[in-house]
Structure 1
């Protein structure tokens, strides 16, 4: 009787440990997440497979309750509710697809991996084990993605020890030779520590301070300067005139986050302000944060508001003589935005975020680790800019 309970308990606690360590915010720890499919496959019942899935996902996304509480300036209960609700899709997919039949198990797991990578389930497809491809196969691109996909299938079969040993060898080799993605030539990413005030304090002095920050970065011979998400606040004609006038004839083009508001809602965007005094909306976020930003249920009740989601729009944008894969905040935690961008073979990746609400959690570190892994997989330079 004791053994009947011990095995499931060990699997569940093991999945929790894998979620905590694999998604601790260090890129080189991402391959630990590959232990999840092994534990999922050796569960003997569907209910245990569901609990293993829940343990992994909840542990990997453990910073969400505290972050949501900070975002809404409330107690932790709304965050706990969102945390549990977000795990439902992951748990349901892996519970439904679990099977005792060893012959079909690899196909079932791969189907689950695909489902959790693309909308609609991929909208909350955090902590996807395939993200480890950039650590195990840096520079291999789509071949590396194919190999880790095949490896995931192998990890849910009887030969999983051999697959795990192979992955461990690749992991050790990668760790010994690891280098972070290089910065694109002529680029500078500026990290800020302005907390909750970024994007909310819209006074002229804040804009002048930002302009001074850009000029300081441009003095380091940067031709392009990236600022974090929401750095410009609301993108209005007045703000546009302030920035284009200040940067006209300057040394650098600025890529910065802003919010474009209209009667039905808003877009979370990247704005480009060039040295000739021109400006344009460079990119509209494909997947805003569900719940806090993207609220599609409003339309069911005839209400407006919330951020718009452009799921498969503008995957690559032109900046100067190159093409960039832009990722804003939440897009760095899920799979399909970066893969869609890489189908267009961009020259580099631009990742920005505003993580003031994640203080005390590892969310921003996880964003950086995931983005770093994807950039290394496809051998793309990476520029980042975060506010904390």
Structure 2
């Protein structure tokens, strides 16, 4: 029973939306390795994952305005890949797990290394939420790729008989980081604008809506006269059309502002969830989302069956984009919860991390807080300033 309750506590508390609690996830590999059988290992993985993603059923309920059953079904289905990978790669340890005793070997850490990689990359990484590597930014802020390697090494050692030493060392880094923690900086002349318009964001394509949104944006940044780049949430502009572009260009006339905002580009085969860049002089699609939300947005079976529809996944496309000569990491909503979009972008030496989301459907859950915590952890790991903009 403790082997089921403990990973549940790690998932529940570690993924509560408080960035400094993320390192609790480092104890999950230890508990997984301690499982006496494959079935118990599967239960350990399931309890951790289900606790960490506990906001999903309520979020789906809010999104579809239905009862909890669709959300519960999706919640359980999403846990299958995480649990299945951990169950398949678990191996029975030989000998004792105690320090100073023989036994254990390297089979378990090598298998856990495979787990770490599989849950970071497609296809399993598509639902690779609550990945313990995310905590690297808390334990090793500013270390970049070396910090990621240090975190991975610590997680692997946690599956061996040397786990007490690893736990003490990682806990020491955790305490030091908590005592000296500072939030990621906002880049000079950049501002994020949060909105609180619920599900109405982007659903009204009228001229009045866009004029009101422009006025709201200007009002919110009035206290920052030096702002040059303003970031608005995912879906803020609704459907991206030449008319919308002209309205915004006209609204920005006479200013030196560049606006980055979420929108949707639609065609007969489906749509792209995008960020666009707008100024008085130009308007263009800046970024196409690499991984939309599976199920509700990304529905590949519609393409496979020839029906068309759903959001396209650009997977490994446009890892870094440029705004006013600055290379940015763009992350839209779901991409903030998984690993490969972040790590792919970091390979290109970006200068700013830009994260947007439309979280109206997450009411009464901690999903948006978890997204913000994940973004903050990655930004601190690689020493990047960050701009966030969410709608709730």
Q: Do they fold alike, i.e. is TM over 0.5?
A: yes
Paired residue for 2:166? 163
Paired residue for 1:351? 355
In 2, Cα distance between equivalents of 1:32 and 1:209: 43
Paired residue for 1:210? 213
Q: TM-score, normalised by structure 1?
A: 0.96
Q: How does 1:48-127 map to 2 (within 5 A)?
A: 48-101=40-93, 102-103=104-105, 104-127=107-130
Q: How does 1:24-35 map to 2 (within 5 A)?
A: 24-35=16-27
Runs of 4+ in 1 over 6 A off after TM superposition: none
Q: Write out per-residue CA displacement over residues 49-92 of structure 1, whole angstroms, 9 at most, x where no aligned residue.
A: 00000000000000000101111111110110000000000000
Paired residue for 2:254? 249
Q: Is the 8 A contact 2:250 2:280 kept in 1?
A: no
Count of residue pairs the alignment pairs up: 379
* SS of 1:152 mapped into structure 2: helix
Q: Is the 8 A contact 1:191 1:385 kept in 2?
A: yes
2:275 to 259, 266, 270: 270
In 1, Cα distance between equivalents of 2:221 and 2:18: 30
1:125 shift after superposition: 0.2
Mean CA deviation greater in 198-207 or 215-224: 215-224
Are 1:240 and 2:232 matched, yes or no?
Answer: no
* SS of 1:261 mapped into structure 2: strand
Q: Is the 8 A contact 2:256 2:279 kept in 1?
A: no
1:214 shift after superposition: 2.5
Paired residue for 1:19? 11
Q: Is the 8 A contact 1:218 1:251 kept in 2?
A: no
Structure 1 residue runs of 5 or longer lacking an equivalent are: 1-8
Q: Is the 8 A contact 2:15 2:52 kept in 1?
A: yes
Q: How does 1:239-318 map to 2 (within 5 A)?
A: 239-276=244-281, 278-318=282-322
Q: RMSD of the TM alignment (CA)?
A: 0.8
Q: TM-score, normalised by structure 2?
A: 0.95
1:184 shift after superposition: 0.8
Q: Is the 8 A contact 1:19 1:60 kept in 2?
A: yes
In 2, Cα distance between equivalents of 1:293 and 1:263: 16
1:200 shift after superposition: 1.2
In 2, Cα distance between equivalents of 1:65 and 1:96: 26
Q: Is the 8 A contact 2:261 2:276 kept in 1?
A: yes
1:218 shift after superposition: 4.4
Q: Is the 8 A contact 2:262 2:275 kept in 1?
A: yes
In 2, Cα distance between equivalents of 1:287 and 1:53: 24
Q: Is the 8 A contact 1:130 1:149 kept in 2?
A: yes
